[in-house]
């Protein structure tokens, strides 16, 4: 597989990972900040389940599915329950859709402009770590040298083996093959802007922390995957909170809140049209489900009934 093809696959998975960045991207942040970033008053009320039936009087039931944005076969080999919902649901709504245009937009936005290079922002030794980590996967050194700091951070935080297609992209393919509509809760540009709005100084700080913790990321990803396959969404939230420590960095804390909690409210508002249509599948990163600002509690507060449908991965 040549570098360009591998990079195209990588971009599909980058698009998938932007929406659930807390599940495995920027894990380094949780190694340094211990005060809980995500409120969890209702963590034990919605503790287990990746598929939730969403009911309300007068509406057809719909289904909220927690995904993990990876290409690991343990995740992408769907359960019989999920396969059945793919066949029976009338529509799919993702955080954002995957298409050639969004991939091209992502690629253009990831690259520095005006003659700037990554080496302008980090040391030679730090650049060496980035190059050595990324070139075995999908990049050559020349491509790495042009990445923006936030893009390098995101790619470093992804699983080292990302040649397959991520779970969300597979869901989209299945619904398209069945000639069913696919909708999105956010546009690709909205997701990209989460990173683009960061100052260069903040981007560089994040990248440097990622480089420092690069050897620990795979261990944390594996633990995240174990909790996911156990359908333990409370555990996912607790895992993240365990790695948050006291810090004076308000910028990073606010950024994390925006990535998950603030986006939860946007997603909740935008999914209402699909819930009113009924028989919809809405698939979002699993960490968007639990907690006091999670989608499950927001839905219950709005009068919906939530029923967990366990798949029995284990």
Query: Between 136 and 153, where is the model more confident?
Result: 153
Q: What pLDDT is stored for residue 24 in this prediction?
A: 36
Residue of higher predicted confidence among 92 and 249: 92
More confident residue, 135 or 3: 135
pLDDT at 57 over 50: yes
Per-residue pLDDT at 297 exceeds 80: yes
**Among 73, 74, 78, which Cα is nearest to 65's?**
78
What per-residue confidence (pLDDT) applies to 26? 39
Q: What is the rounded CA–CA span in Å between residue 281 and residue 140?
A: 39
pLDDT (tens digit per residue) in 151-180? 898 888 777 655 568 899 899 999 999 999
Position 41 scores a pLDDT of: 56
3-state helix, strand, coil in the chain (%, to 5): 55, 10, 35
Choose between 46 and 103: higher pLDDT. 46
Q: What is the pLDDT, as a whole number, of residue 182? A: 97
Q: What is the pTM of this model?
A: 0.83
Please determine, for residue 55, whether its predicted confidence score (pLDDT) is greater than 90: yes
Q: Does the pLDDT value for residue 33 go beyond 50?
A: no
pLDDT tens-digit series, residues 80-119:
999 999 999 999 999 988 777 777 777 788 899 999 999 9
pLDDT over 70 (residue 213)? yes
Give the residue extent of every domain in the chain. 3-308
Q: Is the pLDDT of residue 244 over 90?
A: no
Q: What pLDDT, on the 0 to 100 scale, is given for residue 27?
A: 38
Provide φ and ψ at 51, rounded to 5°. -125, 125
Average pLDDT value for residue range 232-250: 68
DSSP conformation letters of 95-125: SS---HHHHHHHHHHHB--TT--GGGTS-HH
**Given a cut of 70, is residue 10 above it in pLDDT?**
no
Tokens 């100052």, located at residue: 199
Q: What is the average pLDDT value for the chain, to the nearest integer?
A: 81
Sorting pLDDT into bands at 50, 70 and 90, what band is 295? very high
Average pLDDT over residues 27-51: 57
What integer pLDDT is reported at residue 32 of this predicted model? 33
């Amino acid at each position: 597989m040549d570098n360009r093809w591998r990079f195209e696959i990588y971009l599909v998975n980058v698009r998938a990972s932007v929406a659930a960045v807390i599940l495995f991207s920027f894990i380094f942040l949780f190694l340094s900040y211990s005060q809980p970033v995500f409120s969890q008053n209702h963590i034990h009320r919605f503790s287990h389940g990746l598929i939730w039936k969403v009911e309300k009087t007068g509406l057809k039931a719909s289904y909220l599915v927690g995904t993990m944005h990876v290409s690991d076969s343990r995740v992408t080999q769907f359960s019989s329950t999920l396969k059945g919902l793919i066949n029976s649901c009338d529509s799919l709504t993702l955080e954002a859709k995957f298409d050639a245009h969004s991939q091209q937009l992502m690629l253009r936005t990831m690259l520095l402009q005006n003659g700037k290079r990554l080496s302008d922002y980090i040391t030679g030794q730090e650049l060496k770590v980035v190059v050595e980590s990324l070139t075995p996967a999908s990049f050559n050194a020349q491509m790495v040298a042009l990445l923006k700091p936030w893009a390098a951070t995101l790619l470093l935080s992804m699983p080292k083996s990302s040649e397959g297609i991520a779970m969300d992209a597979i869901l989209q393919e299945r619904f398209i093959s069945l000639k069913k509509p696919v909708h999105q809760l956010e546009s690709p540009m909205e997701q990209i802007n989460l990173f683009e709005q960061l100052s260069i100084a903040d981007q560089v700080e994040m990248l440097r922390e990622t480089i420092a913790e690069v050897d620990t990321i795979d261990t944390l990803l594996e633990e995240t995957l174990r909790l996911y396959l156990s359908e333990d969404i409370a555990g996912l939230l607790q895992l993240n909170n365990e790695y948050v420590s006291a810090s004076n960095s308000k910028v990073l804390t606010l950024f994390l809140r925006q990535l998950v909690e603030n986006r939860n409210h946007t997603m909740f508002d935008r999914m209402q049209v699909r819930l009113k249509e009924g028989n919809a599948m809405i698939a979002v990163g699993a960490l968007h489900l639990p907690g006091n600002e999670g989608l499950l509690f927001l839905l219950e507060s709005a009068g919906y009934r939530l029923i967990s449908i366990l798949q029995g991965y284990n």
